[in-house]
């Protein structure tokens, strides 16, 4: 299956590649070590159109496709996986406002989000509801016609405590998915607070914290869509979110492969480069094949989502499962080729392995991806 990219797509790809090489890769190790959140650098990415990739142009978005987004995040993650992944989450939250928001909401929020003057987070997961997202317990009680009062806690929120905008899924009605609504909660709202910054295995260039809502009064005009639409909004965002995180895995794996290939040419053992040994050659060949297969799979799923194909959800889940599993495996193989040096923070493969591991968990675990795939197969 051939994917011949257009001239514009090659230019987008090259732009993201140069940005990653100049602005991300030289600093990624330090950001990881210092747990530094590079907001100003992300705003430079936003100036290139990377913070509103598939947001409409009238509010500052780039109006591009899901395939374009995959090309961008693949390249950005070759510079810094953690930072690229946060930009992808910001894009998902902005797209939700663009797609489901009223004309007033779009004009209020998006002209500040597309240049990343304000930063957005997505708040679905709770301490007691991860894979069972429809079982969320955060509540939103209507207080007359003018406001809702939110109570609950969201967990593992990228940007928690730092972001300016939080898209919160909360229960306004019955148990299950039909009782969920979506709210835009702005930082500084009374009753909104945050837990401690979580200590994580990877993704250290972005903060992660609980988002806590205690009698948090949100204006009714900040509800996104109708009551009861929240779960639909959350799930529709996840199709694209899964492609984005798969693209970040693909870029990280490709970066790890390049590092392993370069290292194998210079590392001497038994009087010759380890690249001369067939065991190394076979591993490199398998890694290259897996990366290329994942790239084709991802691009195909993105094109199906762009085309609004009926099977798009299944293919997004398949791509997320396959590409994130592949990404971690290839990065781990690259570390193995580096031997003991790969275990040291002096070499980037150690950070790549840590950053890619969580991709098999977030945006729906890969076990849940299998549930979605099987359900769609049996429904056909």
Which are the catalytic amino acids? 363
Which residues are within 8 A (CB) of 158 and not within 5 positions of it... i.e. 6 or more apart? 85, 86, 89, 121, 122, 203, 206, 207, 208
Report which of 343, 337, 331 is spatially closest to residue 256, judged by C-alpha positions: 331
Retrieve residue 178's tokens: 């039909």
Do 255 and 77 form a contact (C-beta atoms < 8 A)? Answer: yes
Do 342 and 334 form a contact (C-beta atoms < 8 A)? Answer: yes
Retrieve residue 268's tokens: 């001497």
Whole-angstrom distance, CA of residue 327 vs CA of residue 217: 42
Rg of the chain over Cα atoms, rounded to whole angstroms, equals 21
Retrieve residue 196's tokens: 């401690």
Q: Could you give the angle at the alpha carbon of 199 between the alpha carbons of 35 and 134, nearest 5°?
A: 115
């Amino acid at each position: 299956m051939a994917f011949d990219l257009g001239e514009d797509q090659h230019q987008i790809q090259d732009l993201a590649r140069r940005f990653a090489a100049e602005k991300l890769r030289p600093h990624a190790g330090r950001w990881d070590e210092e747990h530094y959140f590079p907001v100003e650098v992300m705003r430079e990415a936003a100036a290139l159109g990377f913070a509103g990739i598939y947001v409409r142009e009238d509010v500052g978005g780039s109006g591009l496709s899901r395939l374009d987004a995959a090309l961008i995040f693949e390249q950005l993650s070759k510079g810094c996986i953690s930072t690229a992944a946060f930009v992808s989450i910001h894009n998902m939250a902005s797209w939700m406002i663009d797609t489901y928001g009223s004309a007033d909401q779009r004009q209020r929020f998006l002209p500040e989000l597309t240049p990343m003057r304000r930063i957005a987070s997505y708040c679905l997961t709770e301490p007691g509801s991860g894979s069972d997202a429809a079982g969320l317990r955060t509540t939103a009680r209507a207080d007359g016609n003018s406001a809702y009062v939110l109570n609950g806690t969201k967990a593992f929120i990228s940007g928690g405590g730092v972001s300016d905008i939080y898209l919160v899924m909360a229960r306004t009605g019955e148990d299950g998915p039909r009782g969920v609504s979506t709210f835009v909660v702005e930082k500084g709202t009374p009753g909104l607070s945050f837990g401690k910054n979580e200590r994580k295995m990877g993704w250290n260039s972005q903060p992660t914290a609980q988002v806590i809502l205690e009698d948090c009064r949100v204006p009714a005009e900040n509800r996104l869509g109708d009551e009861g639409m929240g779960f639909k909004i959350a799930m529709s965002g996840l199709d694209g979110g899964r492609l984005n995180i798969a693209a970040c895995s693909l870029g990280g794996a490709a970066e790890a492969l390049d590092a392993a290939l370069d290292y194998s040419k210079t590392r001497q053992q038994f009087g010759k480069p380890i690249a001369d040994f067939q065991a190394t050659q076979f591993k490199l060949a398998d890694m290259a094949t897996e990366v290329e297969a994942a790239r084709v799979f991802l691009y195909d799923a993105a094109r199906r989502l762009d085309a609004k194909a009926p099977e798009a959800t299944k293919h997004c889940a398949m791509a997320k499962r396959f590409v994130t599993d592949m990404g971690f495996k290839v990065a781990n193989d690259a570390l193995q080729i580096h031997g003991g040096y790969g275990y040291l923070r002096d070499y980037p493969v150690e950070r790549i392995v840590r950053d890619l591991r969580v991709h098999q968990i977030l945006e729906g675990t890969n076990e849940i991806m299998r549930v979605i795939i099987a359900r769609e197969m049996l429904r056909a």
